[in-house]
Each structure stands twice: as structure tokens, then as C-alpha cells.
Amino acid sequence: MCDSCGCGDSNVIPFEVHERILKGNDRVAEHNREHFKDHDVVAINLMGSPGAGKTAVLEATARALGSAADAVKVGVLAGDLATDNDAARIRAAGMIAESITTGSACHLDADMVHKGLHRLPWRTLDYLFIENVGNLVCPAVYDLGQAANVVALSVTEGEDKPLKYPTMFRKADLVPITKMDLVPHLPNIDVDRIEYNLSLVMPRPEVLRVSATTGLGIDAWIRWLKAQGRARGTACPTSAGAGLIA
């Protein structure tokens, strides 16, 4: 007799589950994370709106690493609904990159990343960027096995984006405010206000003002990356490399 819901149906029984709906994704994400840890690879989940400047930040990263590329090896898995354009741009900038084409999916999940890894010599890397599908909603829900979340936010997106999409920014370990070179053309945008709004939603607000075009803030970005490697006791660049990219 079902005595929990009062339906009186003798063939209906309650069954307690209490499991995360994404437990399957979580399992694969944990598998990815163990792979990264075993091979001293710092994986960064790079998120943001379409057009926030995610790929441009990666291109600037490649330029900044420049001849130090031998000391600090960086690779990219770039997710998009269609085309190989982002991976092609990143390869042209000098880093290894492969695309994850999602078809109609609005986000990457841990299994897509796992399959993408099979096409990239990721074990040789110090840092792996997983450039997520441009979207401020869905990617925040899926663990990929990353060590840190970076959410790029461009000055042209408006000051209140952190308040409109709090779930995404709440998960961010770092927010680079991108396209800073455009600020002189945006009389109604107050970057301090963007930072203030981020501080309202991020548990530990960490923000950098950057421009991939002028190179503003890219040195601080590289320092942040290196700190991620040190914090995890991995991917610590050689002193020669550190000198070249500092």
C-alpha cells in the first residue's frame, strides 16, 4: 500500500533517489580532472557572450608567450555550434588548437571535452584552454573538469551584465574586462561600475582590465595564469620562460 502520497494504489511505491541530475556529466568531468592532474595540465574553462573577445584574449596570450612558447605550452579546445574559425585563428597565432563543433548544443559538456582531447596532444601542455560556446547561461551548469573558470566580459556589453546573469559570474574565478581600448568611444560606460556589479555577484571578485588590441593588462593576465599553475603545484614555467613572458 502506498502510504506516502495517499493515492491508495497498492502497486505504486515511492523510491528515494536524491542524486544530481548531472551525475553522469560530473563523473566524466572528474575523469577529465584526474587526467589533467596526472599530466600537470592546468585546464581553464573560458566562457563569455558571443563576441566577448574570448578568442582575441587567447590570440593575445599566444603573442605574449611568443618565443617563450617552448617553456610554457598552451593549447586550446574551441567550442562553437559550427565552423573551425576560432581554432584556425588560434593556430594562426601559434598555439595548437582543435574545434569542438556542438551542432545545436548551447554549451560544452564533459564528454564533448573528453572526445576533443583525443584529437589534441594535450598531455604535452602546461595550460589547456577550453573555449566554451559563447553563452552566459548554459555553460555555467556543466563541469568540464577544469581547474578554474574565466568569464570574459567586454565593455560593450553594458554595465549590468553581471546582475542579469549572476549564475555565470558567480562561478567565475576571474573576469577579464575586455576591449578596454574601446572605452573612449563609449561615453555611457563606466568601468568602475562594471567592477562594482561584479563584486556584488562574485564570491571572491577578481577582475582584470585588458585589451587584446593594445596589450593592456595582458601581462597581469599571464601572471594570473602562472599563479594558477603554482597554486596547483603544476605547470610552473621555467625561470627562463618566466623571464620572457613576465
Partner 1 sequence: MHEYSLVQAMFDQIGDVVRAQGAVSVRRVRVRIGQLAGVEPELFRTAYDVFRIKTFCAEAPLDIEPGPSDELTLEQLELEVP
> Where along the sequence are the contacts to partner 1 (CB under 8 A)?
2, 4-5, 7, 9, 11-25, 105-107, 109, 137-138, 140-142, 166-168, 170
- 36 membership: H or E segment, kind and range: helix 23-38
Could you tell me the smallest distance in angstroms from the CB atom of residue 23 to partner 1?
7
15 or 38, CB closer to partner 1?
15
Per residue in 7-26, is it b (16+ CB within 10 Å) or e — as a string?
eeeeeeeeeeeeeeeeeebb
Q: Which amino acid appears at position 125 of this protein? A: L
Query: C-beta of 19: minimal distance to partner 1 in Å?
Result: 6
CB of 107 to partner 1, least distance (A): 6
Q: Closest approach of Cβ 15 to partner 1, in Å?
A: 5
In this complex, which beta carbon is closest to partner 1, that of residue 102 or of residue 234?
102
Nearer residue to partner 1 within complex by CB, 142 or 221: 142
Which is nearer to partner 1, 16 or 38 (by Cβ)? 16
Q: 145 φ, ψ to 5°? A: 100, 10
- Min CB(135)–partner 1 separation in Å: 9
At residue 25, what is the residue type? N
Q: Based on C-alpha coordinates, what's the Rg of the chain?
A: 20
Q: How far is the CB of 140 from partner 1 (least distance, A)?
A: 5
The CA distance from 185 to 212, in Å, is 17
Nearer to partner 1, 54 or 107 (CB): 107
Q: Which is nearer to partner 1, 83 or 167 (CB)?
A: 167
- Give the sheet arrangement for strand 175-178, strand by strand: 96-101, 74-80, 127-131, 42-48, 148-154, 175-178, 207-209
Closest CA to 183 of 171, 174, 173, 195: 195
